[in-house]
């Protein structure tokens, strides 16, 4: 049995995988989709056997994955350090993935890393009291709610607000 994959098969497969990344937010099938698009574009100009196409798809997918994890992601996290990163974290919003209880801390996930981590514990809720925890619980029931990171140094933030109000 002779199976042939034409260039447009690879292009359609690549587009489906890239679009599928929207619905499956694992950030893994994107690289397979880009690899399929590469094979489709090369197949458009240079006809290849199926085994060569699959080999090229595998190599390009692995290549895109390695480029992401070894180069791009590393450079993105390098910019998330120091005083500038702390200032950028103020006002950042994220998704509460685990609500706090009386015995455990909550967890919050950001879409982009904040100070080298995309997931943070929420210990500040203990310091802010029971009413704050209850408010977070009620917010979690709403589809339209989001949590905003505030400065950890509350007195300094209040002084800054008061000095700007004058």
Q: pLDDT tens digits for 119-140? A: 877 764 444 555 655 666 666 6
Q: What percent of the chain has pLDDT over 70?
A: 59
Q: How far apart are CA 123 and CA 145, in angstroms?
A: 20
Q: Is residue 2 part of a domain?
A: no
Residue 19 structural domain? 7-78
* DSSP symbol at 70: I
Residues 91 and 155 grouped into a single domain:
yes
Per-residue confidence (pLDDT) for residue 103, from 0 to 100: 72
Count structural domains, the chain.
Answer: 2
Q: How far apart are CA 51 and CA 58, in angstroms?
A: 11
What are the C-alpha distances in Å from 97 to residues 24, 114, 119, 121, 149?
A: 17, 16, 9, 10, 15
Split at pLDDT 50, 70, 90, the class of 54 is very high
Q: Is residue 94 part of a domain?
A: yes
Per the CB < 8 A criterion, the answer to whether 164 and 106 are in contact is no
Q: Is the pTM of this model over 0.85?
A: no
What's the half-sphere exposure (Cβ side, CA atoms, 13 Å) at 3? Answer: 7
Q: Is residue 53 part of a domain?
A: yes
Q: How far apart are CA 15 and CA 86, in angstroms?
A: 38
Of 78, 94, 116, which marks where a domain is finished? 78
Of 78, 107, 137, which marks where a domain is finished? 78
The average pLDDT across 98-116 equals 73
The average pLDDT across 42-57 equals 95
Of 44, 78, 112, which marks where a domain is finished? 78
Residues 96 and 43 grouped into a single domain:
no
Per the CB < 8 A criterion, the answer to whether 14 and 33 are in contact is yes
Question: Would the pLDDT of 17 be above 80?
Answer: yes
Strand partners, 119: 109
Residues 113 and 153 grouped into a single domain:
yes
Question: Would the pLDDT of 11 be above 90?
Answer: yes
Split at pLDDT 50, 70, 90, the class of 106 is confident
* DSSP symbol at 71: I
Buried b (16+ CB within 10 A) or exposed e, 4-27: ebebeebbebbeebbeebeeeeee
Q: Is residue 22 part of a domain?
A: yes
Split at pLDDT 50, 70, 90, the class of 55 is very high
Residues 86 and 72 grouped into a single domain:
no
Residues 21 and 54 grouped into a single domain:
yes
125's tokens: 């809720």
Per-residue confidence (pLDDT) for residue 126, from 0 to 100: 42
Per-residue confidence (pLDDT) for residue 127, from 0 to 100: 42
Question: Would the pLDDT of 94 be above 60?
Answer: yes
Query: Taking all residues of the chain, what is their mean pLDDT, rounded to a whole number?
Result: 76
**Look-up: residue for tokens 């599928």?**
20
Residues 98 and 36 grouped into a single domain:
no
Residues 129 and 70 grouped into a single domain:
no
Q: Is residue 40 part of a domain?
A: yes
Q: Is residue 1 part of a domain?
A: no
Residues 14 and 74 grouped into a single domain:
yes
Q: How far apart are CA 109 and CA 149, in angstroms?
A: 11
């Amino acid at each position: 049995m002779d199976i042939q994959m034409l260039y447009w098969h690879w292009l359609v497969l690549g587009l489906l995988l890239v679009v599928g990344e929207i619905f499956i937010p694992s950030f893994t099938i994107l690289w397979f989709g880009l690899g399929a698009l590469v094979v489709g574009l090369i197949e458009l100009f240079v006809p290849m056997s199926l085994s060569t196409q699959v080999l090229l798809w595998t190599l390009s997918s692995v290549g895109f994955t390695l480029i992401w994890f070894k180069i791009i992601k590393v450079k993105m996290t390098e910019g998330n350090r120091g005083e500038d990163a702390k200032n950028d974290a103020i006002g950042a919003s994220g998704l509460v993935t685990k609500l706090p209880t009386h015995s455990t801390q909550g967890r919050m996930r950001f879409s982009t890393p904040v100070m080298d981590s995309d997931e943070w514990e929420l210990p500040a809720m203990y310091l802010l009291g029971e009413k704050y925890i209850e408010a977070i619980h009620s917010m979690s029931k709403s589809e339209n709610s989001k949590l905003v990171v505030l400065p950890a140094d509350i007195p300094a933030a209040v002084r800054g607000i008061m000095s700007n109000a004058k």
